[in-house]
Amino acid sequence: MKIKQIKVHLSEEEIEARIKELGAQISAEYGDEPVCLVCILKGSVFFTCELAKRITSPVEIEFMSVSSYGAGTSSSGVVKIVQDLSTSIEGKNVLVIEDIIDSGRTLSYLLQNLKTRNPKSVKLCTLLDKPERRVVEVAVDYVGFVIPDEFVVGYGLDYDQRYRNLPYIGFVEIEDEEGEASE
Ligand code: IMP
Ligand code: MG
């Protein structure tokens, strides 16, 4: 598959304005309680950095890498911890930061796993939510944007490891074998 073009769906300004709102909401809810942001690599890196800057509660940042997708655009259904947290989350308020919730398989597995480590609380914040694609139920506490069932790239999200560095979020238009564009 070849990418013909990427259509802007959410501009950098729109994304950053929404992250500001999320940061204010999260700060109001945690207050002076410390919160441990668990950034899910690699897609959530850009979102985590921007969001962390907007949270006024004491923040700690940790990283975790989970594999759910291969090189294509559909879920394999197999979730594996590729890189675990480097510290204990026992007694901490954990806020998992995800780029997108699609089938829900990755997060459902991850939340269950984190809950076994005796944190004080576990909440979930995602930049994007594609509810139409849900296969497994996941309770999402903070959502940046609900998007339709289309493959997106940018602001951390990749297509075969590319396009993560786009400052906006765009829909991918694929060129078929005859050279005609389809979404
Ligand atoms: P889930 O387990 O199906 O919810 O998959 C979540 C993961 O799939 C995300 O963390 C992304 O890495 C990837 N993903 C799902 N949809 C998209 C998309 O539209 N663009 C890029 N990556 C996606
Ligand atoms: Mg990915």
pLDDT at 174: 85
* Residue 181, pLDDT score: 55
97 close to ligand 1 (CB < 6 Angstrom): no
176 part of the active site: no
Averages of pLDDT over each 10 residues, the chain, 183 residues: 90 98 98 98 98 98 84 63 96 98 92 96 98 94 97 96 97 75 54
Residue 183 confidence (pLDDT)? 54
Which residue's CA is the nearest one to ligand 1's atom 3?
Answer: 103
CA dist 170 and 11 (Å) reads 8
> Is the CB–ligand 1 distance for residue 145 below 6 Å?
no
State the DSSP code for 132.
G
Distances from the Cα of 80 to the Cα of 43, 57, 67, 68, 136, angstroms: 16, 31, 5, 7, 16
Write down the pTM of the prediction: 0.92
11-149 CATH, one of 3.40.50.10860, 3.40.50.1970, 3.40.50.620, 3.40.50.2020? 3.40.50.2020
104 lines ligand 1 (CB under 6 A): yes
Do strands 142-146 and 152-153 pair parallel, antiparallel, or not at all (unpaired)?
unpaired
Domain locations in the chain? 11-149
